[in-house]
């Protein structure tokens, strides 16, 4: 395999991470269309990096950790951009968002305490939450109207994903970045393709 292509998954992940500063500028300038395009590109890199790494048999702990860092950076940024650009919506649902954020932070802290690092889980529920989260942010940027029904779907999937991650961290002896669900016994994980 050509060495240039063997690094492609990590390069896509790095691109997603490097997109955060210019996307912040677009958000601060309130350029919603360009911000939406940038978020869509970031979402595409999120899908492609893991897919290509698995197909090319180039999954590495470093790549998995970089992917998780890029995901956390972009997720926190997207929430901040929506607070900046749609404060009306977030003031209405702030209590639920704070509970979700608290669960997410608890998951990070538990991973740090138990494994001395932020756990880089790639569960199916997290993939679903990420996909629907990207769609929700794009919807919120494109439309000024209410998004309450869509929000409840997103927040439900988000709570399920964060809860499953927390349960995995509390019940497993080691972090397995290839675990796809808590329903699989430890040592019997399948890779999501």
Query: Which pLDDT value is given to residue 58?
Result: 80
Query: Which pLDDT value is given to residue 78?
Result: 92
Task: Tell me what the mean pLDDT of segment 147-159 comes to.
Answer: 92
Range of the domain at 119: 3-171
Instruction: Examine the pLDDT at 190 and tell me if it is beyond 70.
Output: no
Evaluate whether residue 189 is within a structural domain: no
Instruction: Examine the pLDDT at 26 and tell me if it is beyond 60.
Output: yes
Q: How far apart are CA 44 and CA 134, in angstroms?
A: 10
Question: Tens of pLDDT along 65-82?
Answer: 888 889 889 988 998 998
Question: Tens of pLDDT along 116-140?
Answer: 887 778 899 998 999 999 999 999 9
Measuring CA to CA, how many Å separate 69 from each of 66, 79, 141, 156?
Answer: 5, 16, 24, 23
Evaluate whether residue 153 is within a structural domain: yes
Question: Tens of pLDDT along 99-117?
Answer: 998 998 999 899 999 988 8
Evaluate whether residue 54 is within a structural domain: yes
Q: Which pTM does this prediction carry? A: 0.83
Evaluate whether residue 182 is within a structural domain: no
Query: Which pLDDT value is given to residue 174?
Result: 87
Evaluate whether residue 184 is within a structural domain: no
Evaluate whether residue 124 is within a structural domain: yes
Mark out the alpha helices in 29-123 (DSSP H runs).
32-55, 61-85, 87-92, 94-115
Point out the least confidently predicted range of 39-43, 60-64, 66-70, 183-187.
183-187
Evaluate whether residue 122 is within a structural domain: yes
Residue 131 CA from chain centroid, whole number = 8
Query: Which pLDDT value is given to residue 40?
Result: 95
Instruction: Examine the pLDDT at 153 and tell me if it is beyond 80.
Output: yes
Per the structure, the count of domains in the chain is 1
Query: Which pLDDT value is given to residue 179?
Result: 82
Evaluate whether residue 180 is within a structural domain: no
Tell me how crowded residue 113 is: count the other CB atoms within 10 A of its CB: 9
Question: Tens of pLDDT along 177-188?
Answer: 778 888 876 555
CATH code of the domain containing 11:
1.20.120
């Amino acid at each position: 395999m050509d060495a240039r292509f063997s690094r492609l998954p990590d390069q896509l992940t790095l691109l997603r991470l490097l997109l955060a500063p210019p996307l912040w500028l677009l958000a601060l300038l309130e350029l919603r269309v360009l911000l939406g395009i940038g978020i869509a590109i970031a979402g595409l890199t999120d899908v492609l990096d893991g897919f290509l790494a698995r197909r090319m048999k180039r999954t590495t702990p470093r790549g998995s950790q970089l992917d998780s860092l890029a995901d956390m950076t972009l997720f926190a940024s997207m929430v901040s951009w929506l607070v900046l650009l749609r404060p009306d919506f977030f003031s209405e649902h702030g209590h639920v968002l704070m509970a979700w954020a608290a669960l997410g932070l608890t998951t990070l802290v538990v991973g740090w305490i138990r494994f001395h690092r932020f756990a880089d889980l790639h569960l199916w529920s997290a993939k679903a939450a990420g996909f629907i989260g990207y769609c929700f942010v794009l919807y919120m940027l494109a439309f000024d109207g209410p998004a309450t029904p869509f929000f409840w779907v997103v927040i439900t999937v988000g709570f399920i994903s964060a809860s499953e991650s927390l349960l995995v961290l509390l019940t497993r002896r080691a972090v397995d970045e290839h675990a796809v669900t808590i329903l699989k016994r430890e040592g019997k994980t399948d890779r999501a393709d």
